[in-house]
Amino acid sequence: MNMTRWITTIRERLQRPAPPPETRRIGLALSGGGGKGAAHIGVLQVIQELDIPIDLIVGTSAGGAVAVLYAAGFDLAAIQDVFRQSALRRIATPDPTGTGIIGQRRREEMLYRLLGDRTFADLNLPCAVVATDLVSGETVVLNEGPVVPALLATTALPALFPPVPYGDMLLADGGILNNLPVDVAYELGAQRVIAVDLRDAQAGFSLQPEENDSLLARFMFAPKQFAVAQRALSLLMAEATELRLQQHPPDVLIQPDVASIHTLDLSTPEKGYAIGLEAARELAGELIDLRLWRNGTQLAVQPQPRRARKIERKRSVMIGSNRLPARSRPEAAGTV
C-alpha cells in the first residue's frame, strides 16, 4: 500500500526523453463530488467517442467509484444506473457504530451484488482509489486486494458514513486530503494525465432550502448544520486541490460546471452526464493531441495553458481598523 509522498512538475516531465509509443501511457484522474460525480460519465463518453486510449484510471470518492466500475467493464449506462441505486433514500439505514448518520450495510450489499469478490487484479485496466487514514492523517492509495472495501472507504464522507476499518487503519473519504489524485496517476506510471475536477467552491452559499436538496437530507438530520459542514469542507478541499494542481499539473484539465448539482443527489445522474459531456467536448482538440502522442504520431504533447476555472485566493476581509491599537504595536512598546 503506497503513501503519496511525491512531487512531479510538468517541466520535469517534458524534459524527459519521449518514451517509445509502445510504452506511452495516458492516465485518467477523477475527483470526488458525490452526486456531481455523474459528470465523469459524460467525460468518459467523449473519451470513447474520440477513441482516446486510457491505460490507467484513478479516482477519489465518487470518482473512485466511477473508476472502479469503468475498469471492471461496466458500460456508461450501467454506471449511471449505479448512481441511481446509490441514492440515499435507497441505501439509508441507521449506523450501529454511531460514527456516521447512515450505516454501510445496504451500500456494501449493493456493491457486492455488482462487483462480487473482484480484486483490483481482476479489473480490465490498472486502477486505484484514494482514501484518508484518520489514524495517521495520511493519504492512502488502494490498488490491490478486494475492491468493495476500498470503495466503501474512498466514499465514506465524514459524518454521513462511518469510517472503514482496514488493517490497522481507519479509512474515510479520500477527498479530505487528495480530492483529485493526479499525482497518483503519475506515480502509477502515466506519462500524460487527463484530470476531471468537480470543484464548485466559487458557487454561492445559502442556508435556504434549494430544489436540489436531497429529500433525505431534509428529514434525516439537521440540513442547515450539514450544509455548513459540507461548505466548510468543500472550501478546504478546493484550496488543497488548487495547490496540488500547481505541484502536479495534468496535461488536460476538464472542469464541468457542476455547481447546480447537490452533493447528496445521486438520483438524477443524467444531469451530471450532460454537463460532463459538454465540458469534455470543449476540450476535444487537446484530447485528440493526447491520442496522437499516445500513438506516436507526435513526439510530445506541448503544454497548453490550463483552461481552469481557477479558485482565486481572496484577500481577507478586515472588519474594523486594519491597524493594531497603539499599545499593541511593537513600536509602541515601552511608551507612556
Is 206 in the active site? no
Distance between CA atoms of 131 and 155, rounded to whole angstroms?
Answer: 8
Q: Distance (Å, rounded) from C-alpha 104 to C-alpha 110?
A: 10
Count CB-CB contacts under 10 A for residue 216: 20
Cell numbers found for residue 39:
459528470
Under 8 Å between Cβ of 139 and 176: no
The HSE-up count of residue 33 (CA atoms within 13 Å, CB side) is 32
173 is catalytic: yes
106 phi and psi angles, rounded to 5 deg: -70, -35
Instruction: Find, among 268, 317, 286, 204, the residue nearest to 41 by Cα.
Output: 268
Looking at 55, 86, 133, 173, which residue is catalytic? 173
**In the block, which residue shows the cell 476555472?**
309
Dihedral sign, Cα of residue 287, residue 293, residue 296, residue 297:
positive
CA 72 to chain centre: 19
Alpha-carbon distances of 240 from 179, 280, 297, rounded to whole Å = 8, 23, 36
DSSP code string of 157-212: -TTTS--EEETTEEEEEGGGT-SS-HHHHHHTT-SEEEEE----TTS---SS--TT
Active-site residue (options: 61, 86, 214, 234): 61
Q: Which residues are catalytic?
A: 61, 173
